[in-house]
Amino acid sequence: DQQVKQNSPSLSVQEGRISILNCDYTNSMFDYFLWYKKYPAEGPTFLISISSIKDKNEDGRFTVFLNKSAKHLSLHIVPSQPGDSAVYFCAAPLRGGKLIFGQGTELSVKP
C-alpha cells in the first residue's frame, strides 16, 4: 500500500521558470512532511519540511504547500536552475522515525 505517492516520474522545465513537484498521501496520521533531493550516486539530502499545522513553508527559492483536506503537498522551485536537476522525494514520518517515501520525481532543468 503506497501511503505517499508521486505520480509524475519526471518533469522538465526551462531555466528561470517555476518547477512544481506534486505529492499525495493517504495516511491521515501523517503530521509532518519532508522533501529530499537526490543526485545520482549520492544519498538523499534534506531540502525542506512542513508541519501539518501550517499550509506553507518557504526557504529561499523553495516553497512547500500543504493542502490537508486534499491530502496533497507540492514543492515549488522559483526560479529553477540547472543545478536543481535531481530526483526529488516526498516523505512523511511515522512513529519511531520510519520515513515513508514517495517514488520520486526526476526534475530536469534545461538551460
Between 44 and 73, how does the x/- string for binding to another protein read (CB under 8 A)? xxx--x-xxx--------------------
Cell digits of residue 37: 533531493
104 makes contact with another protein (CB under 8 A): yes
83 binding another protein? (CB under 8 A): no
Size of the site for another protein (CB under 8 A): 26
What is the SS3 assignment for 12-59? EEECCCCEEEEEEECCCCCCEEEEEEECCCCCCEEEEEEECCCCEEEE
Interface ranges with another protein (CB under 8 A): 31-32, 34, 36, 41-46, 49, 51-53, 87, 89, 93-99, 101, 103-104
